[in-house]
Amino acid sequence: VVWEDPFPKSSYLFALVAGDLAMIEDTFITLSGKSVTLRIYAQKGKENRLEYAMKSLKKAFAWDEKAFGREYDFNLFNLVAVSDFNMGAMENKSLNIFNDKLVLANPETATDTDYMRIESVIAHEYFHNWSGDRVTARDWFNLSLKEGFTVYREQEFSADMNSRALQRINDVLFLWRVQFPEDAGPLAHPVRPESYMEIDNFYTSTVYEKGAELIRMQEKILGKDLFRKATDLYFSRHDGQAVTIDDFVKCMEDASNIDLSQFKRWYSQAGTPEVEVKDEYDPEKQTYTLFMTQKTNPTPMQEKKDPLFIPIEIALLNHKGEEIPLILDGDDLDTPANSKVLILDSPEKSFVFKNIQEKPLPSLNRSFTAPINIAFPYTDKDLVFLMAKDTDPFIRWSAGQKYALQYIKSVYQDLMQNKQLKLDNNFNNAFASYLDIADDKMFAAMALQLPSLQYLFEQLEDVDIDILDTAFKYVRDNFVREFKSKLLAVYHANYVSDPFDISASAVSRRALRNRVLAYLATLKDEDTDSLVREQYRNSVNMTDVQASLAILLNNQIKGYEDALGDFYWHFKKDPLVVNKWLMLQAGAEGNSQVLAEVKKLTKHEAFNWKNPNKVYALIGAFSNNFVHFHAKDGSGYDFLADTIIHIDAFNPLVASHVATFFGNWRKLDEKRRKLVEKNLNKILNTQNLSKHVWEIVSKSMVK
């Protein structure tokens, strides 16, 4: 076969796949009328699970034409799914290579979450055809030029395909759980790193997801029309070139005449900015003032931080929850608007609004305009008001998260001081109000999720994990006991009769139903236990099967062993589903012997150390099993260190990723810190340690 390729490109974009593969084929007609042949390949016997991937690919082609004016350039596009692959996918020109877990799907083997992930990642790799292939990065320091921009494009695509509000909440949840801890820990680095030993170690949430947030901020600063003009300019000016982040920002400036020189500090400074907001209302002048200050804490290799250019969208709500028209005092050209994007570009700055007839409640950083921690002295009453009244779905959700966070932290502090615990019935009632959202069940399912232990951990210092877990369960269990009947009613009201329906309505009802079932199971009543067993027995779609099996395991409900055996027997010939089986066992929160089970599973026929998917399923799930990984005796740390050393001998890339599971360990209590440090030193003292692992572990040791 002779391939003719008219486009110059970086060598990393070339790829060849050879094998005896099965294939499905379809056609897409581009905006200009060109016919493109689409082919998706997989191992023989798996081709019946490729149709959803093909539909997702065609959606991505059409969306990129409409949203960014980008038409595909060849007459053929190939996508290949392989089972042993260190990464999720690669954007090799006209031959995208995927880990098959991000391609193969049918309702019997893939969850609703799997479907959404497949749709978004296939779009991401296709979008690289322009943001990464036609215009690529000059060097690896500018990796976020292509990855941050393409993550932003992927997020916008998913928002348009599904729910914009829920996409934004999911994006922020990932930042809070993964990127913010990275920015606050020993592995903090700028979006544009200043140095690296192995570039594989910089395929991080900072480069990808924080990089996407920087693109989103520029879109907010310019406005949608000017942002589209700027991206058109970027693609036309640099087509066929290898360029830098500076070139991208220059296109933003040239299209808008806005000076973004200070904004570029976001690319060179690590850390999450903290913005403190205070307010003052003058009833005589009818003015309302917001006082804002910003700071970014020191990070490794960066003690001094300069003030950033931070866009913050705000609204002001009156006592009815209505948005007050905003006019900035001193700006005669300002026109009233229900929300405004304020620019905080100095260490401190004040914003005065006029014609404000009553003291309002501010709605701050709407839609999470900027990736910052924002502090305002909201009372519990204020947060309940925002949960119920704010028109911004992100603010309604985050208000509930803040209220839960404050409540759990107060219980934790009382436990640490041996104080008597006090119930907060106001919290229970406010949180239960999410159960009454009839028109947006997916939002209700998201809002009913309490902040994770890991997120709570990041908000504290010298954390005793066991006491934090006790505080979390105290808040959760009191809520569930008080609203058991209501939770049961919601569970039964959201039954989906067609198990293979993956419409938005069916997906949202399943999500809400499984959320409340997980709560009900914590009661450990025979009637709720039987509900979980019944759902497992009667379900045929993977979403409900996996959810009920996870609940059985997490709560060690009678019959969980039989369910585990049944699940494996049904799916043992399907590696992707078996990986779910491994993951669920390693993540079982209620199993006090989970580490022993994980060690046994490493010797099981279903596990293979040399398959990255299996390593991430088993070892990754255990590392996220927060209480058991952080066992007081250090056994979880010992196991992870031995695992890293073992994998490093044959797959340093996977080993270095596993090494990041130690996370922001300096927030632990003193005893646990010493145990982690002992294991990190053990890894560093290993003979023939790879550069991949040495770089991650040595940086983890930096104070």
On the 0-12 / 13-18 / 19+ scale of CB atoms within 10 A, 610 is exposed
* In 85-189, alpha helices (H): 112-127, 143-161, 164-174, 180-184
Task: Reply yes or no on whether the pLDDT at 5 is more than 80.
Answer: no
**Average pLDDT score over the chain:** 95
> Looking at residue 686, what is its pLDDT?
97
Average pLDDT over residues 677-699: 96
d(CA 86, CA 690): 16
CA angle 158, 162, 163 (to 5 degrees): 100
The 10s digit of each residue's pLDDT in 613-625 is 999 999 999 999 9
When pLDDT is cut at 50, 70 and 90, the band that residue 195 belongs to is: confident
> Looking at residue 451, what is its pLDDT?
96
Average pLDDT over residues 400-406: 97
Q: What is the dihedral of CA 662, 111, 469, 631, to 10 degrees?
A: -40
In the chain, pLDDT over 70 holds for what percent of residues? Answer: 100
> Looking at residue 153, what is its pLDDT?
98
- SS3 assignment for 316-370: EECCCCCECCECECCCCCCCCECCEEEEECCCEEEEEEECCCCCCEEEECHHHCC
**How many C-beta atoms surround the C-beta of residue 95 within 10 A?**
20
Q: What are phi and psi of 690, to 5 degrees?
A: -70, 160
The 10s digit of each residue's pLDDT in 569-601 is 999 999 999 999 999 999 999 999 999 999 999
> Looking at residue 203, what is its pLDDT?
87
Average pLDDT over residues 11-17: 87
Rounded alpha-carbon distances, angstroms, from residue 434 to 430, 444, 530: 8, 5, 25
d(CA 606, CA 574): 10
DSSP one-letter string for 61-92 = HHHHHHHH-----SSEEEEEEESS-SSSEE--
- State whether the Cα torsion 612-615-618-621 is positive or negative: negative
Question: pTM of the entire structure?
Answer: 0.95
Average pLDDT over residues 78-103: 92
Task: Reply yes or no on whether the pLDDT at 407 is more than 80.
Answer: yes
The answer to whether 700 and 692 have CB atoms below 8 angstroms apart is no
Average pLDDT over residues 455-476: 95
Task: Reply yes or no on whether the pLDDT at 333 is more than 90.
Answer: no
When pLDDT is cut at 50, 70 and 90, the band that residue 199 belongs to is: confident
Q: Which of 91, 119, 125, 313 is catalytic?
A: 125
Helix axes 51-68 and 143-161, enclosed angle (nearest 10)? 100
* 125 a catalytic residue: yes
> Looking at residue 330, what is its pLDDT?
80
Closest CA to 384 of 317, 431, 440: 431
d(CA 434, CA 454): 23
The answer to whether 238 and 135 have CB atoms below 8 angstroms apart is yes
Closest CA to 598 of 614, 619, 613: 619
- State whether the Cα torsion 502-505-506-510 is positive or negative: positive
> Looking at residue 335, what is its pLDDT?
79
When pLDDT is cut at 50, 70 and 90, the band that residue 81 belongs to is: very high
The answer to whether 134 and 239 have CB atoms below 8 angstroms apart is yes
The 10s digit of each residue's pLDDT in 265-312 is 999 999 999 999 999 999 999 999 999 999 999 999 899 999 999 999
> Looking at residue 60, what is its pLDDT?
98
The answer to whether 147 and 21 have CB atoms below 8 angstroms apart is no
The answer to whether 633 and 595 have CB atoms below 8 angstroms apart is no
Task: Reply yes or no on whether the pLDDT at 543 is more than 80.
Answer: yes
When pLDDT is cut at 50, 70 and 90, the band that residue 438 belongs to is: confident
Average pLDDT over residues 332-342: 84
